[in-house]
Structure formats: structure tokens, C-alpha cells
Amino acid sequence: MSRLAIDWTRCDGHGLCARLLPEAISLDDWGFPIVGEIGDLDRAVVGTAVASCPRLALRVEK
Amino acid sequence: MTMLGEHPVIDAMPALFTVADPRLLATRTPDVPPRDREWLVEAAQRVRLLGRGGAAFPVATKLAAVGKGARVVVNGSEGEPASWKDRVLMRQHPDLVVAGAALVGRALRSPQIVIAVNDATSAAALRAAVRRCGDERIEVRHVEHRFVGGEISALINGLNRRTPVPDGVRVLPHERGLGGRPTYASNVETFAHLALLAALGPERYATTGSAGEPGTSLVTLHGTERGAAVLEVPHGIDLSRLVGEHRGPILIGGYHGAWTARTDLVVERPALRAAGIGWGAGVVAVLPERTCPVGEIARVAQWLADQSARQCGPCTFGLPTIAADLQRIVAGGHADRGELSRRIGQVTGRGACHHPTGATGFIASGLTAFDADVRAHLAGRPCGRTTHGVLPLGGGR
């Protein structure tokens, strides 16, 4: 089961991932992502979110 | 930052006590015969030896994960301000530590053995012991860093001349450590136990301690009548024996540990783990009546926030917010406890290293353990006691 992971040392809290994947990602009080399950989300959409992160901090882990 | 009361600093080494016959703290260092890697792995497995840095990882598993030629890192950086046991061991018994480092280095045929320390006194004691031992591969390195710098990936980054902060993507030292090479890294006390194990053999090693965890552990104790102390205790003894007459919550595992009101606990990592409690680096503390417990917790919370490496958002922003909430509670000002719990939940489990999770564990358990005091403060009836700083924030370097 794959899951979303964040490299916290890279993430600057741009929040793009939460906009692109609102089903799986919300933001905390300080604008940093809280990741949930990917479940059966469209892999292409997940891939777009991963590729769109300005800090390349989002990844999918097996 | 609000300064709460005085900040006494322990600048002298705490008193030493032993609860039974000392081993690590014995006056004579035993002769440590050479043992090969297979012997060490099997012996460590038989006595269920667990790492002493805080994670309590099985030593046999870690040793078996590295092959011949692996580097060795002995972590004596002891970043936790409440912990003194590693410095006591390195200063008073440096020969045992060096014997353990040499033993592992020989067993692994290591080309490089580094003992990393964060204070000049321990460094000098260890260097003298290395000269007596004559193993020229052993290098004592004085590394300056903060609390999170003692986290193993941060320490290894520092030894590799990079910024001593934890990695974003976790790589364990047995895969890539010193100079990017496979490395066996463990806490100083672990190496001292390996030296004892090699000297005594697993059967004699297991004549003290409990079945679940043979042998002894070093403990740093704060807040009892005798002040700060380092003790060597056999596993399996009642925790209450350490704190004497004191009644009230006990902090187990230091500032990444937890407060508990339980009185039926014993000093044994597997038993504590089963009770949901981490032994950490062996810091145990109680708070005397004269000090404000909420103030003590708030003061450590502020220190923990200041210690963040500021790499990860939830830790960088979350911990100071939580610390500020606590300061307001101490002052008897308005604070929303539900909001505070929600914020604590938002920081827990996030970040590149264990710091935010360890810190919130300390804070949340403290708020629960001293609930009556917290309620009184929140109701605008602060206890009026001074925060004496029983829980130390530094010094002694």
C-alpha cells in the first residue's frame, strides 16, 4: 500500500499539495501539510501534486 | 521569552550511587579479551542487550547488520541537559568505554573508530585512555552541537563535516554513516556494556538484572532529597526505590519521555515499553513540593522549542506556540486548553526527526499528570510557588 510522505526539511508550507489533493492533504495552523491516505485516488492526480511541489518535498512511498 | 524564576545550572558532576554491586562504575576496569563479531552478536542476543542512547534498539541486530570493515561511531555527545550518565561514565571510567570501542573495532576489522563527545573534560579523559589502550585507530572528536545534534543522523552529518542536523530522508548509519560507509553507531554506555559482556561472558553478565533484561543501567536522577545523582541500577528493581519517599508523578525518559502517576513500574526497558513508556537515555525526575510543576514543564517546553533545528515547519512553528500557551497558563492568564491539546496533536508525529514528537509527549503527559495544578492555574488561581528549575536546562559543558 503506497502512501504520501513529506521531506520536512524541504517543505516550506507553500500549500499547493493541499489544493491539488484536498481529499488526502489538509493544512495545519501554520500552513504545513497533514497527509492522509491516498486510497484509490487517481494516480495521475497524485503524480501531478508530487511534481508540482515547488520544493520537491512530496513523494509517494511504497 | 519570559524568564521564569531562577535558572540554576548544575556545573559540577552529580554524586554517584549504586543500588547493588557496581559493574560499569566498578573501581577496576576488567581485562577485555578480543571477541569476534559472531561471538558478540550471539552474546548480545543472549543477554538481550539494548542500545543505551534512547531508542533501545537490540544491539545484536545492529551489529549483525554491518559487515567486516564497517566504521564505528561511539556517541558520547549526551545532548540531553538532564542526562549526566554518559559524561560520568566517560570521565570516571574512560578505559571501559575505550575498551568497548576497541573491542567492536577489532571484531568488525574497522579502519576507523570515532568517539564523539561534546565536552572537553570527557574528551581529555578519553584521549588519555586511548593512549593507555594503544589502539591508534581510535579518534576522540569534540563536536559542538545542540540537542537534536545528538540524534544519530545529525551527529554523523557533523562528523562528515556537514551541518549537524537530522536528514530529511532517513538513512541509517549501517547503510551510510562515517564517510558515507556502513557504520556501527551506538551510545557510549552500550560500548561499555559490550566490554563487560566480552570480559564476563553472557552467563556471568546475566547474574544481575532481570530475565527480561539482564545486567544494569545507568540512571540520572533529579528532584529527590539528594539532588542530582547518577546511579547504576540492576534491571528489575522497583522504580519507587530510586525516588525514595517521594509521592507524585515521575518523569521517565527525560525531555523526550513522559510523566506517569503509576507506582508499580520497574526499571526494565521491555517491561516499561509494554506499559507504553520509553526509558530513553535513563533520566528519571520528580518535582519537590516547593516548585511549581506547571512552571517547570513550561520552562522545559520553551527550551525544547528553542532546540529545534528549524528545518521542519510543524516543529519550528508548533513548539514555540505550544510553549507560549504554557507560559500563559503558568501566569494564570487566559488559555484555551482544548486549543492547546489540538496544537499538541498537530505537532506530534511530524518532522524529520523525533524531536517534535518527543517534546509533545513530554508536554502532554505533564499536563495530564499535573492536571489539578493546570486547572488551578487556568482558573486564575496560580499556585504562587516559584519555578526553581529543578529540571536542568544545561550547564556542565
Domain boundaries, chain A: 3-61
Q: What is the model's pLDDT at position B55?
A: 87
Say which DSSP state B5 is in. Answer: S
List C-alpha distances in Å: A25 to A57, B199, B313: 14, 55, 15
In chain B, what residues touch A8 (CB-CB under 8 Å)? Answer: 168, 311-315, 350-352
Q: What is the model's pLDDT at position B247?
A: 85
The per-residue DSSP string of B242-259 comes to HHTT--S-EEESGGGSEE
Interface of B with A in 142-171 (CB under 8 A): 165-169
Q: What is the model's pLDDT at position B5?
A: 34
In chain A, what residues touch B167 (CB-CB under 8 Å)? Answer: 9
- B168 and A8: CB-CB below 8 Å? yes
Residue B17 in contact with partner chain A when CB distance is under 8 A: no
Q: What is the model's pLDDT at position B397?
A: 56
Q: Which three cell numbers stand for residue B331?
A: 501566569
Q: What is the model's pLDDT at position B1?
A: 26
How distant is the alpha carbon of residue B293 from its chain centre?
A: 22
Q: Specify the amino acid at residue B104.
A: V
- B343 and A7: CB-CB below 8 Å? no
Interface of A with B in 24-43 (CB under 8 A): 28-32, 34
SS (H, E, C) A5-54: EECCCCCCCCCHHHHHCCCCEEECCCCCEEECCCCCCCHHHHHHHHHHCC
Which CB contacts under 8 angstroms, 24+ apart, belong to B151-158?
B151/B353, B151/B354, B151/B355, B152/B53, B152/B73, B152/B75, B152/B185, B153/B353, B154/B309, B154/B353, B155/B73, B155/B75, B155/B77, B155/B116, B155/B185, B156/B73, B156/B183, B156/B185, B158/B116
Residue A12 in contact with partner chain B when CB distance is under 8 A: yes
Interface of B with A in 254-283 (CB under 8 A): none
Alpha-carbon gap, residue B187 to B116, rounded angstroms: 10
List C-alpha distances in Å: B165 to A56, B19, B109, B122, B173: 19, 37, 29, 23, 14
Strands A58-61 and A3-6, bridge-based pairing: antiparallel
Residue B311 in contact with partner chain A when CB distance is under 8 A: yes
Q: Where are the domains of chain B?
A: 1-12+237-397, 24-205
Q: What is the model's pLDDT at position B6?
A: 35
Residue B352 in contact with partner chain A when CB distance is under 8 A: yes
Enter the CATH code of domain B1-12+237-397.
1.20.1440.230
Q: Return the closest-CA partner of residue B363 out of B279, B284, B299, B275.
A: B299
Q: What is the model's pLDDT at position B10?
A: 45
Enter the CATH code of domain A3-61.
3.30.70.20
Q: Specify the amino acid at residue B5.
A: G
ipTM of the modeled complex = 0.90
Q: Which three cell numbers stand for residue B305?
A: 522549542
Q: What is the mean pLDDT of each run of 10 residues along chain B (397 residues)?
A: 34 73 88 97 98 93 95 93 93 96 98 94 97 94 74 84 79 86 96 98 97 97 87 94 89 96 94 94 94 96 93 95 95 88 94 92 97 92 89 72
Q: Which of A8, A29, A31 sits opposite B350 (nearest CB)?
A: A8
Rg (CA), chain B: 21
Alpha-carbon gap, residue B271 to B212, rounded angstroms: 8
Position of cell 491516498? A38
Classify B50 as helix, strand or coil.
strand
Say which DSSP state B95 is in. Answer: H
Give the side-chain half-sphere CA count within 13 A for B106.
21
Question: Class for domain B24-205, per CATH?
Answer: alpha beta
Min CA distance, B197 vs chain A (Å)? Answer: 40
Q: Which of B311, B321, B346 sits opposite A9 (nearest CB)?
A: B311
Alpha-carbon gap, residue B183 to B39, rounded angstroms: 19
Strands B229-234 and B216-222, bridge-based pairing: antiparallel
Interface of B with A in 332-351 (CB under 8 A): 343, 346, 350-351
In chain B, what residues touch A30 (CB-CB under 8 Å)? Answer: 313-314, 317-318, 321
Q: Which three cell numbers stand for residue B211?
A: 530475565
- B311 and A34: CB-CB below 8 Å? no
8 Å CB contact between B362 and B54: no
Q: What is the model's pLDDT at position B4?
A: 32
Q: Which of B311, B321, B346 sits opposite A8 (nearest CB)?
A: B311
- B346 and A28: CB-CB below 8 Å? yes
Residue B321 in contact with partner chain A when CB distance is under 8 A: yes
Q: At what angle do helices B355-369 and B371-378 cross, to 10 degrees?
A: 80
Position of cell 495530564? B368
Residue A19 in contact with partner chain B when CB distance is under 8 A: no
Interface-testing mutation among A32, A55, A59, with chain B (most B C-beta atoms within 10 A): A32
Q: Which three cell numbers stand for residue A10?
A: 524541504
Q: What is the model's pLDDT at position B2?
A: 29
